[in-house]
C-alpha cells in the first residue's frame, strides 16, 4: 500500500489475467489511483532520465525558452514557469515542464495533429533518455489498459488498438524552490488528467495528494521503484463514469521543505487522435444513462487545453463542450 491507495504487482497479470483485471478494475473504480510494483521499468532508465531532466531545467531561462512554442499549446518541448493552471483557477501553477511526444513516421496521416518534439542540443542524451522512459512507460500502460479492457467486458486489445499511435506525452516536471511563502498558488492545483491513464514516476519528494470520496485529501508517497497510476478524463468518458477520473494536486511544502526542488515524470497515455470517445455499451444502463456525446480524442484534447490555459482559442464547433464537461464534473 502506498499512502491509502491499493498496490499491485503488475507481473501478476500474466499469472491470472481475469483475477488481476477484476481486482485492478475495482480498485480504480473505488480509488481512481493505484500503485504499481514489479512493473519492469529499469531503474537505470529512470535514473538516466532524471539526470538529464535536472540538467535541462538548470539551463538559463532564455535557453529553455528557445524550445517553447506558444502556438502549439506546450504540447511539444518546453512550457515556462507559471503558464499552466488548473481549470477555473486564475493563477498559474508553480512549475515548468517539458513534453516528449510520440514520434510517428513522416507522412503519417495523424502526425499533423501532433506537436513535434524539439531536439535539445545543450544537454547530451536528453532526448534519448526521455524517449527511453516514454517507451518503457508506454509498455506498462498498455498492460494496465489490457487488464481494464477485460474488466469492462471488452477484448484485451480494445484500448491497445485505439492508443497504439496515440498522442501520448512524457511530461518532465520541475517545481523550483518556493520563494514567496505567502503565494496563493500551488505547485499543481487540484485537477483531473485529460488522458486515458497516467503513470507517474516520482522523485520521492512529498506533495502529491488525492481527493478521497469523502472529501478528504490523501497524501500519496512516490516511493522509488513504484509507479503511481490513475484514471484520466478520457477513460472516465469512455466508461460513462464507471471508472472515475480522480482529483489530485501537488501541495506546497512547509518550512525548510520550500527550499527543495521537486521533479517528477508523469506519462500521459492518450488515445489515437481520430478515435471517437463515447460511452461503452457495457457502461450504459437504465440507472446510468449515457452522459457524454461522442467526440474525437483530438477535439477533446483541444477543449481541455483551452480550459487549462495552454491554448488561447477554441474552434467554435467545440464551444459547447466546455459547458458539457463542467456540467458532468458537478454531478
| 47-68 average pLDDT score | 97
Looking at the domain assignment, is residue 29 inside a domain? yes
Range from 25-34, 78-87, 109-118, 192-201 carrying the lowest mean pLDDT: 78-87
Evaluate whether residue 115 is within a structural domain: yes
In a domain, 251, yes or no: yes
In a domain, residue 1? The reply is no
User: Which CATH number does the domain housing residue 240 bear?
Assistant: 2.60.120.330
Q: Model-level pTM greater than 0.85? A: yes
Q: Could you read off the pLDDT of 111-135 as tens digits, one per residue? A: 988 999 999 999 999 999 999 999 9
Quick check: is 2 in a domain? no
- Domain count within the chain: 1
Most confident of the following: 70-74, 138-142, 215-219:
138-142
SS3 string of the chain?
Answer: CECCECEEECCHHHHCHHHHHHHHHHHHHHHCEEEEECCCCCHHHHHHHHHHHHHHHCCCHHHHHHHCCHHHCCCCEEECCCCCCCCCCCCCCCCEEEEEECCCCCCCCCHHHCCCCCCCCCCCCHHHHHHHHHHHHHHHHHHHHHHHHHHCCCCCCCCHHHHCCCCCEEEEEEECCCCCCCCCCCCEEEECCCCCEEEEEECCCCCEEEECCCCCEEECCCCCCCEEEEECHHHHHHCCCCCCCCCEEECCCCHHHHHCCEEEEEEEECCCCCCEECCCHHHCECCECCCCCCEEHHHHHHHHHHHCCCCCCCCHHHHHHHHHHHHHHCC
Higher pLDDT, 63 or 324: 63
pLDDT of residue 327: 43
Q: What is the pLDDT of residue 203?
A: 64
Q: Answer whether residue 42 is part of any domain.
A: yes
Which domain, by its residues, includes 190?
Answer: 7-329
Query: pLDDT for 161-201, tens place per residue?
Result: 999 999 999 999 999 998 888 788 888 888 999 999 999 98
Amino acid at each position: 500500500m502506498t499512502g491509502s491507495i491499493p498496490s499491485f504487482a503488475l507481473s501478476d497479470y500474466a499469472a491470472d489475467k481475469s483475477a488481476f483485471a477484476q481486482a485492478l478494475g475495482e480498485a480504480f473504480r473505488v480509488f481512481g489511483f493505484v500503485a504499481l510494483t514489479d512493473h519492469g521499468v529499469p531503474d537505470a532508465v529512470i535514473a538516466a532520465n532524471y539526470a538529464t531532466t535536472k540538467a535541462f531545467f538548470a539551463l538559463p531561462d532564455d535557453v529553455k525558452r528557445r524550445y517553447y512554442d506558444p502556438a502549439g499549446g506546450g504540447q511539444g518541448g518546453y512550457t515556462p514557469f507559471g503558464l499552466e493552471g488548473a481549470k477555473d483557477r486564475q493563477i498559474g501553477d508553480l512549475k515548468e515542464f517539458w513534453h516528449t511526444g510520440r514520434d510517428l513516421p513522416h507522412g503519417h496521416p495523424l502526425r499533423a495533429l501532433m506537436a513535434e518534439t524539439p531536439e535539445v542540443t545543450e544537454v547530451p542524451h536528453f532526448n534519448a533518455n526521455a524517449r527511453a522512459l516514454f517507451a518503457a512507460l508506454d509498455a506498462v500502460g498498455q498492460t494496465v489498459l489490457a487488464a481494464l479492457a477485460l474488466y469492462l467486458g471488452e477484448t484485451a486489445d480494445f484500448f491497445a488498438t485505439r492508443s497504439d499511435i496515440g498522442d501520448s506525452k512524457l511530461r518532465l516536471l520541475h517545481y523550483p524552490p518556493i520563494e514567496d511563502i505567502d503565494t496563493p498558488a500551488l505547485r499543481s492545483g487540484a485537477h483531473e488528467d485529460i488522458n486515458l491513464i497516467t503513470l507517474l514516476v516520482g522523485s520521492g519528494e512529498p506533495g502529491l495528494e488525492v481527493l478521497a470520496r469523502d472529501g478528504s485529501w490523501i497524501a500519496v508517497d512516490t516511493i522509488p521503484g513504484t509507479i503511481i497510476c490513475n484514471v484520466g478524463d478520457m477513460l472516465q468518458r469512455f466508461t460513462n463514469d464507471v471508472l472515475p477520473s480522480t482529483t489530485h494536486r501537488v501541495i506546497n511544502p512547509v518550512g525548510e521543505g520550500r527550499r527543495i526542488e521537486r521533479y517528477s515524470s508523469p506519462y500521459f497515455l492518450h488515445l489515437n487522435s481520430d478515435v471517437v470517445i463515447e460511452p461503452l455499451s457495457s457502461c450504459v444502463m437504465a440507472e446510468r444513462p449515457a452522459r457524454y456525446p461522442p467526440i474525437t480524442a483530438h477535439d477533446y484534447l483541444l477543449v481541455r487545453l483551452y480550459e487549462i490555459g495552454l491554448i488561447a482559442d477554441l474552434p467554435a464547433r467545440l464551444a459547447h463542450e466546455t459547458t458539457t464537461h463542467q456540467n458532468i464534473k458537478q454531478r
